[in-house]
């Protein structure tokens, strides 16, 4: 039995399939705005996130996809992304790359393009009232309309708690009432954010000397919206450590973690072992490849065979280590 066929029979996969099967059986909202930010190196992974978003909305829903970029994406890649579906209205927004050059760069596996999301209020405030931002290592596994309809009250931003949220909140000296969120899935209420004040606040936050920004724009956004962010259900940002050992102190309860793990609305491959890397051990990594192989960036036969051989060898090695440990 292959790993993929085994995965499809797991309770988690059955839940995801059930969630996605309900798309056409439910009344969909008329229009949804989402935003992706990436550079040319992340185009194949952005295609996976985009295709999952298209799959997660009904035929009657207009999906506006705002792509913020630094003008390094070639015409062929743009055309291929636009060709994924006629149901998606893709809108390209250029951001001056020089504006992110001075921002902290201290995470080896994270592209500087991650900072582009800090320009969302400035770029989109005239074209959308609300927008859902998605990291390009996420996969929609439930109806996007459910997340879109989430009531965030008067908060300017909404996000799910982070897998190391308690540790990070203490590091940034947060008040006891504030939570540290993961910035991979965000809802922006653009009507509640003044773009000029937002830009000024970014500059002010970066220049702070009482804290050290370690997690790049995620730290910046958390500092800017300390105590103001609405909390999304964890299932809308189901991080990798829900499926592997978490040595961090999360900002959510074990009960919340189990609900999100079993019935994720958005899968987020949060650590540096991404599905496209040979060291990835995420049990749901095949969902990424199922989608990617429906795009122009699909694997060749030899690439797939090589990946499967590596996965098989790693699995056998892991089993051998467990057997040795048990004998000792």
CB 120 within 8 Å of CB 183: no
SS3 72: coil
CB 108 within 8 Å of CB 74: no
162, 155, 135, 177: which is closest to 219 by C-alpha?
A: 162
258 or 301, greater pLDDT:
258
What's the pTM value of the predicted model, to 2 decimals?
A: 0.91
192, 126, 123: which is closest to 156 by C-alpha?
A: 192
- Check residue 183 and give its pLDDT: 98
Residues forming a β-bridge with 139: 267
Following CA atoms 207, 210, 216, 218 in sequence, which dihedral angle do they give, to the nearest 10 degrees?
A: -110
CB atoms within 10 A of CB 89: 14
Mean pLDDT of 177-185: 96
Within 134-246, residue ranges assigned H as helices are 144-148, 165-171, 195-206, 216-224
- Check residue 150 and give its pLDDT: 97
Of 10-24, 247-261, 293-307, the range with the highest mean pLDDT is 247-261
Tens of pLDDT, residues 117-169: 999 999 999 999 999 999 999 999 999 999 999 999 999 999 999 999 999 99
Between CA 236 and CA 187 the distance in angstroms is 11
Within 45-129, strands assigned E span: 62-69, 88-94
Placement of tokens 């919340």 in the chain: 256
- Check residue 315 and give its pLDDT: 66
Between CA 264 and CA 277 the distance in angstroms is 22
Name all contacts of 95-99 with Cβ < 8 Å and 24+ positions apart: 95/68, 95/69, 95/70, 95/119, 95/123, 96/70, 97/70, 97/71, 97/72
- Check residue 296 and give its pLDDT: 97
Contacts of 75 (CB under 8 A, 6+ apart): none
Tens of pLDDT, residues 224-248: 999 999 999 999 999 999 999 898 9
- Check residue 108 and give its pLDDT: 62
Tens of pLDDT, residues 264-292: 999 999 988 999 998 898 999 999 999 99
- Check residue 313 and give its pLDDT: 78
CB atoms within 10 A of CB 200: 11
pLDDT at position 1 over 60 = no
pLDDT at position 76 over 60 = yes
Tens of pLDDT, residues 308-328: 887 777 666 655 555 555 555
In order of 156, 182, 205, 252, 256, the CA distances from 169 in angstroms are: 20, 11, 15, 13, 19
- Check residue 169 and give its pLDDT: 96
DSSP 8-state code for residue 110: S
Average per-residue pLDDT for the chain: 90
């Amino acid at each position: 039995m292959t790993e993929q066929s085994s995965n499809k029979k797991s309770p988690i996969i059955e839940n995801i399939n059930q969630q996605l099967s309900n798309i056409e059986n439910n009344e969909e909202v008329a229009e949804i705005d989402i935003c992706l930010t990436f550079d040319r190196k992340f185009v194949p992974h952005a295609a996976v996130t985009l295709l999952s978003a298209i799959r997660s909305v009904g035929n009657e829903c207009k999906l506006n996809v705002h792509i913020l970029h630094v003008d390094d994406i070639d015409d062929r890649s743009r055309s291929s992304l636009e060709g994924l579906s006629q149901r998606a209205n893709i809108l390209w927004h250029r951001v001056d790359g020089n504006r992110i050059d001075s921002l902290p760069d201290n995470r080896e596996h994270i592209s500087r393009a991650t900072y582009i999301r800090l320009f969302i209020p400035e770029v989109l405030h005239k074209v959308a009232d609300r927008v859902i931002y998605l990291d390009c290592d996420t996969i929609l596994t439930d109806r996007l309309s459910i997340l879109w309809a989430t009531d965030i009250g008067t908060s300017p931003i909404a996000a799910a708690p982070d897998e190391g949220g308690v540790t990070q909140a203490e590091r940034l000296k947060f008040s006891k009432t504030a939570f540290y969120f993961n910035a991979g899935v965000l809802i922006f209420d653009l009507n509640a954010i003044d773009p000029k004040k937002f830009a000024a606040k970014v500059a002010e936050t970066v220049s702070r000397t009482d804290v050290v920004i370690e997690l790049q724009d995620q730290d910046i956004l958390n500092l800017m919206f300390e105590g103001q962010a609405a909390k999304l259900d964890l299932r809308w940002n189901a991080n990798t450590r829900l499926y592997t050992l978490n040595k961090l102190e999360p900002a959510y309860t074990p009960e919340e973690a189990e609900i999100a793990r079993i019935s994720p609305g958005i899968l987020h491959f949060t650590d540096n072992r991404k599905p496209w890397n040979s060291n990835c051990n995420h049990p749901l990594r095949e969902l990424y490849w199922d989608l990617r192989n429906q795009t122009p960036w699909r694997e060749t036969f030899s690439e797939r065979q090589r990946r499967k051989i590596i996965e098989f060898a790693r699995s056998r090695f892991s089993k051998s280590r467990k057997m040795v440990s048990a004998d000792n």
